[in-house]
């Protein structure tokens, strides 16, 4: 049985003081937590948020990482730096990084292999644009992102891999995929994983992301092949995040 994962991706939001306030509020609300709960703040909040959340059971994730151990890579952050701050998960391949910072499947694959080597858990984001969906290419696109990003993956560490299906047209638009549409693609993703990795694929968690709100989480999580959610906007308010992690099935 796969444990669910509700992950907040704060993107480029929250100063350290704001992150600390969020943590205080969330801890005060003390929501019932189903499965694993994760917050991925900006790098600059990791230390302070980690201190606030210590002992709460809420885990820390990062929004990005570089694919090298150390060296002359101005502006980048290494896996060791993240481990040092208590980070357990790292988002890679987010569509904003692909579109705004031109990250390729090849680079994302390098990051994934590096995370596996360092025992950090990758949350690999994949998903199609509106144009690709309207052309009926969403399945092909997701399949090719999966195969390129998972090239040479260490099969022994697949249980720590999380895939986040995030259709780009649903991100920050308020236009969520229907639970049935999201399930159809997530089911396809699982079938692709099974083709490549056999029974090991059953342990890989698949999240849906794109305008997930407290009002929609229950329907999404009830789906057989969706094991949680990667949430942007609705993870920025403690009251909303508390409702998300207390989803009901």
The one among 171, 182, 217, 244 contacting ligand 13P by CB under 6 A: 171
Residue 86: exposure state from Cβ atoms within 10 A (0-12, 13-18, ≥19): middle
Angle (nearest 5°) at CA 210 between 236 and 183: 135
232, 171 Cβ separation under 8 angstroms: yes
Question: How far apart (Å, rounded) are the C-alpha atoms in residues 41 and 53?
Answer: 12
By CB under 6 A, residue 105 contacts ligand 13P:
no
Q: Min. distance of Cβ 11 from ligand 13P in angstroms?
A: 7
- List the one residue out of 215, 200, 224, 204 whose CA is nearest residue 247: 215
- Please, what is the minimum distance in Å from the beta carbon of residue 156 to ligand 13P? 27
Site for ligand 13P in 64-103 (CB under 6 A): 94
Considering only the stretches 52-60, 75-83, 204-212, 216-224, report the one whose residues sit in contact with ligand 13P under the rule CB under 6 A: 204-212
User: Applying CB under 6 A, does 230 fall inside the site for ligand 13P?
Assistant: yes
Kindly list the distances between the CA atom of residue 208 and the CA atoms of 86, 122, 221, 231, in Å, as whole numbers in the listed order.
25, 15, 9, 9
Contact residue for ligand 13P among 39, 232, 240, 247 (CB under 6 A): 232
Does residue number 177 form part of the binding site for ligand 13P (CB under 6 A)? no
Q: Which position among 231, 238, 242, 244 is part of the footprint of ligand 13P (CB under 6 A)? A: 231
Q: Which of 211, 216, 225, 227 is close enough to bind ligand 13P by CB under 6 A?
A: 211
Catalytic (active-site) positions: 94, 166
Q: Which is nearer to ligand 13P, 4 or 211 (CB)?
A: 211
- Counting contacts by CB under 6 A, is residue 233 touching ligand 13P? yes
Give yes or no for a contact between 10 and 39, defined as CB atoms under 8 angstroms apart: yes
Residue of 196, 225, 231 whose CA lies nearest to 94: 231
Of 11 and 52, CB closest to ligand 13P: 11
- Pick between residue 202 and residue 213 the one whose CB is nearest to ligand 13P: 213
* One of 41, 209, 214, 228 touching ligand 13P (CB under 6 A): 209
Nearest Cα to Cα of residue 82 among 74, 71, 91, 72: 91
- How far apart, in whole angstroms, are the C-alpha atoms of residue 62 and residue 183? 26
Cα 211 from Cα 213, distance rounded (Å):
6
Q: Does 63 bind ligand 13P (CB under 6 A)?
A: no
Helix (H, G, I), strand (E, B) or coil at 196: helix
Stretch touching ligand 13P by CB under 6 A, among 28-36, 77-85, 146-154, 209-217: 209-217
The footprint of ligand 13P (CB under 6 A) covers 9, 94, 166, 171-172, 209-212, 230-234
């Amino acid at each position: 049985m796969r444990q669910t994962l509700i992950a907040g991706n704060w993107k480029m939001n929250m100063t350290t003081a704001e992150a600390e306030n969020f943590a205080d509020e969330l801890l005060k609300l003390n929501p019932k937590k189903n499965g694993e709960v994760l917050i991925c703040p900006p790098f600059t909040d990791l230390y302070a948020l980690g201190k606030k959340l210590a002992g709460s059971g809420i885990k820390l994730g990062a929004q990005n990482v570089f694919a090298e151990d150390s060296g002359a890579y101005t502006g980048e952050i290494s896996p060791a730096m993240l481990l040092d701050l208590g980070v357990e998960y790292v988002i890679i391949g987010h569509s904003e990084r692909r579109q705004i910072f031109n990250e390729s499947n090849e680079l994302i694959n390098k990051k994934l292999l590096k995370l596996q080597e360092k025992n950090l858990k990758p949350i690999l984001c994949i998903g199609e644009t509106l144009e690709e969906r309207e052309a009926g290419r969403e399945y092909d696109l997701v399949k090719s992102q999966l195969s390129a990003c998972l090239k040479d993956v260490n099969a022994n560490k697949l249980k720590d891999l999380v895939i986040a299906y995030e259709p780009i047209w649903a991100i920050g638009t308020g236009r969520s995929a229907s639970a049935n549409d999201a399930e159809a693609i997530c089911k396809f993703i699982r079938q692709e994983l099974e083709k490549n990795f056999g029974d090991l694929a059953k342990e890989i968690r698949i999240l849906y992301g794109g305008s997930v709100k407290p009002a929609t989480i229950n329907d999404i999580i009830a789906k057989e092949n969706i094991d949680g959610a990667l949430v942007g906007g609705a993870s920025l308010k403690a009251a909303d995040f508390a409702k998300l992690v207390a989803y009901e099935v």
